[in-house]
């Protein structure tokens, strides 16, 4: 009876997890380092081209799954390239985000909203994603052959 209940429990848990990913299209990738890439920003919010001489740089963020994207996001770094390598230190499940900044010389004119990896409008083909990072266990030590007399 105990095994039957355990089976039902795990069946329900796995069904819920699978349903969540199927319904929301969310894919989790397990890694300690990920290269986040995006299309370079070449237009303003109204669709017109960024004026000559104006530049765009990016801030890259991560936020824990279920975290508040305004108050719990962590700035991972800044770049002028349309890609950034994110290295995870703390275990958990995370979403990644990119904010574009428009500037000239040292003066920042404006910021975009943050594009998050769990938003189907901003990811490639609407396929949302997150990153899972958990440290691997240490390798086994003290290996030996025990003498088993016949």
For the chain, give the mean pLDDT: 87
pLDDT at 36 over 80: yes
What is the per-residue pLDDT for 20?
46
Closest CA to 41 of 76, 82, 79, 86: 82
76-122 per-position pLDDT tens digit: 999 999 999 999 999 999 999 999 999 988 888 899 999 999 999 99
Region of poorest pLDDT, from 11-15, 53-57, 63-67: 11-15
* Residue range 29-133 in CATH 2.60.40.10: yes
Distances in Å between the Cα of 115 and the Cα atoms of 71, 76, 127 are 16, 14, 13
Per-residue pLDDT averaged across 46-65, rounded?
A: 95
What is the per-residue pLDDT for 19?
42
pLDDT at 3 over 80: no
The model carries a pTM of 0.76
Which is more confidently placed, 109 or 126? Answer: 126
Closest CA to 41 of 50, 33, 28, 32: 50
* Contacts with 122 (C-beta within 8 Å, 6 or more apart), sequence order: 115, 116
What is the per-residue pLDDT for 148?
76
Which is more confidently placed, 119 or 21? Answer: 119
What ranges do the domains of the chain cover? Answer: 29-133
């Amino acid at each position: 009876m105990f095994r039957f209940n355990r089976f039902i429990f795990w069946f329900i848990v796995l069904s819920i997890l699978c349903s969540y990913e199927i319904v929301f299209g969310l894919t989790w990738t397990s890694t300690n380092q990920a290269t986040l890439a995006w299309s370079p920003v070449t237009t303003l919010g109204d669709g017109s081209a960024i004026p000559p001489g104006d530049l765009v740089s990016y801030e890259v963020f991560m936020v824990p799954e279920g975290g508040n994207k305004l108050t719990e996001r962590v700035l991972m770094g800044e770049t002028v390239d349309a890609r950034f390598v994110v290295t995870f230190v703390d275990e958990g499940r995370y979403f990644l985000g990119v904010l574009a900044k428009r500037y000239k010389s040292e003066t920042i004119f404006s910021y975009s909203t943050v594009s998050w990896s769990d938003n189907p409008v901003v990811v490639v083909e609407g396929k949302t994603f997150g990153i899972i990072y958990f440290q691997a266990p240490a390798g086994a030590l003290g290996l030996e052959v025990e003498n088993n007399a016949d």
